[in-house]
């Protein structure tokens, strides 16, 4: 009996020990699981972690495609819409009649004066048309308009080509008042001549405007021309002379000389322009063109300027700029009839190729043909 009690006590104690062990192991497992769920705060050690630099994102270089200017000569018909529109109402009214009447001549007179042909030139043209209508017994309005266009073309005559020098560089002086487009005209001429395989020297003879020299330098770079310029406010004649000498030494084909935009009312400045002309002729080559640049939008007012310049420099021809933006195309006829100067070149836009040879037949057709 006593042995049985001892055995039961022993079993009870063993059960207690085993239970306590199982409880301890299971509690330790729970504590470990809890530790994995709780993120311990970082321990500050006083040592700064190195910053990680973001990778530099370099955008790929975008190369703009080179703009190649189309060397396509503009058509008068496409660029003279403003002038044609100003005349279209009168022309349409004349053509609406089945026969030629006095009202037809009156409307044509108004149209030509509106186009800035000038009163004197308009009267001469209509007198010639009346005579042809009578002599050839013309009766229809279509025949009247054809007679008018034929008379206008004949009054413009043949347009002589731009002159060149057989010996030494061909010197072209570009003259005119400020704002008519002299410097731009030189740039466009240089673009044209370079495209034909010629070598060019550009002379910045307008020493009174730094902007003119800068603009000319830009054009020179575009067409591969040599640029000669002097000090601001310096003697224009010396700049032109240096340019001619440089062209002769380098066997250059052309010298394109810019000049100051002198006011035609200032006689001393016109005298200076005459000096430029004389000095330019002393070196290599010779002055073969003195081109007067005129703004077509000024109309009859430009005739006063043209007359003064012609007397000072022996102008050989006219460059009429901004013809595409003017409704006063008739100034072409006034220049020819009153000054006896040919319009050699006209500007039909802003691009380099828009400075074109003047074509009387194409010009007249563009004014009157719908």
Tell me which of 134, 156, 178 is where a domain ends: 156
Q: Which residue's entry shows tokens 């500007």?
A: 347
pLDDT at 357: 96
Among left, alpha and beta (phi > 0; psi -120 to 50; other), residue 97 is beta
Q: Which positions of the chain have pLDDT values less than 50?
A: 20, 22-70
Q: Say yes or no: 191 and 278 in one domain.
A: yes
Classify residue 37: in a domain, yes or no. no
Residue 190's CB: how many other CB atoms inside 10 A?
Answer: 24
Residues 6+ apart with CB under 8 A from 120: 337, 338
**Number of domain units in the chain:** 2
Residue 324 lies inside a defined structural domain of this protein: no
Q: Any idea what the CATH number is for the domain that residue 295 is in?
A: 3.40.50.300
pLDDT at 36 (0 to 100): 40
The SS3 of residue 138 is coil
pTM: 0.78
Neighbouring-strand partners of residue 226: 201
Residue with tokens 């040599």: 226
Contacts of 203 (CB under 8 A, 6+ apart): 228, 229, 239, 240, 242, 243, 244, 255, 256, 257, 258
The SS3 of residue 134 is: helix
Domain boundary, last residue among 291, 315, 339: 315
In a domain, 348, yes or no: no
Contact 187, 212 (CB under 8 A): no
Do residue 117 and residue 206 come from a single domain?
no
Does residue 307 lie in a domain region? yes
Structural domain boundaries enclosing 101: 76-156
CA 84, CA 105: separation in Å to the nearest integer? 18
Q: Are residues 178 and 285 in the same domain?
A: yes
Between β-strands 254-258 and 200-204, what pairing exists: parallel, antiparallel or unpaired? parallel
Look at residue 8 in the predicted model and tell me its pLDDT: 57
Which H or E element spans position 280? helix 267-280
Give the pLDDT confidence of 180-233 residue by residue, as tens digits. 999 999 999 999 999 999 999 999 998 888 888 999 999 999 999 999 998 888
Does residue 13 sit in helix, strand or coil? helix
The answer to whether residue 18 sits within a structural domain is no
Res 358: pLDDT: 97
Same domain, 289 and 221: yes
Q: Specify whether 218 is located in the same domain as 311.
A: yes
| pLDDT of res. 16 | 54
CATH number of the CATH domain containing 126: 1.20.120.140
Which of 156, 185, 220 marks a domain boundary?
Answer: 156
CB 170 within 8 A of CB 200: no
Decide if 16 is inside a domain.
Answer: no
Residues 210 and 307 in one domain: yes
């Amino acid at each position: 009996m006593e042995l049985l009690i001892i055995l039961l006590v022993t079993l009870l104690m063993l059960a207690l020990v085993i239970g306590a062990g199982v409880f301890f192991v299971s509690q330790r497992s729970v504590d470990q699981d809890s530790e994995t769920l709780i993120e311990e705060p970082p321990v500050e050690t006083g040592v700064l972690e190195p910053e990680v630099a973001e990778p530099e994102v370099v955008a790929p270089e975008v190369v703009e495609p080179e703009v190649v200017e189309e060397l396509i000569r503009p058509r008068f018909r496409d660029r003279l819409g403003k002038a044609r529109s100003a005349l279209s109402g009168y022309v349409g009214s004349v053509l609406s009649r089945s026969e030629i009447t006095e009202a037809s001549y009156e409307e044509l007179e108004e149209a030509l004066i509106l186009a800035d042909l000038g009163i004197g030139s308009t009267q001469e043209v209509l007198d010639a048309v009346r005579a042809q209508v009578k002599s050839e017994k013309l009766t229809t309005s279509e025949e009247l308009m054809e007679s008018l266009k034929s008379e206008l073309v004949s009054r413009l005559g043949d347009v002589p080509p731009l002159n060149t020098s057989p010996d030494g560089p061909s010197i072209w002086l570009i003259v005119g008042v400020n704002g008519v487009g002299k410097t731009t005209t030189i740039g466009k001429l240089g673009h044209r001549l370079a495209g034909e395989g010629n070598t060019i020297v550009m002379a910045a003879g307008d020493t009174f405007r730094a902007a003119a020299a800068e603009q000319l330098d830009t054009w020179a770079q575009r067409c591969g021309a040599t640029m000669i310029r002097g000090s601001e406010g310096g003697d224009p004649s010396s700049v032109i002379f240096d340019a001619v000498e440089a062209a002769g030494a380098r066997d250059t084909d052309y010298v394109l000389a810019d000049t100051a935009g002198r006011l035609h009312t200032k006689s001393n400045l016109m005298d200076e322009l005459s000096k430029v002309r004389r000095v330019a002729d002393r070196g290599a080559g010779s002055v073969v063109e003195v081109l007067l640049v005129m703004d077509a939008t000024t109309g009859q007012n430009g005739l006063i300027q043209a007359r003064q310049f012609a007397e000072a420099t022996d102008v050989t021809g006219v460059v009429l700029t901004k013809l595409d933006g003017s409704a006063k195309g008739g100034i072409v006829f006034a220049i020819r009839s009153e000054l006896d100067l040919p319009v050699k070149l006209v500007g039909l836009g802003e691009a380099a190729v828009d400075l074109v040879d003047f074509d009387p037949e194409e010009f007249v057709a563009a004014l009157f043909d719908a």
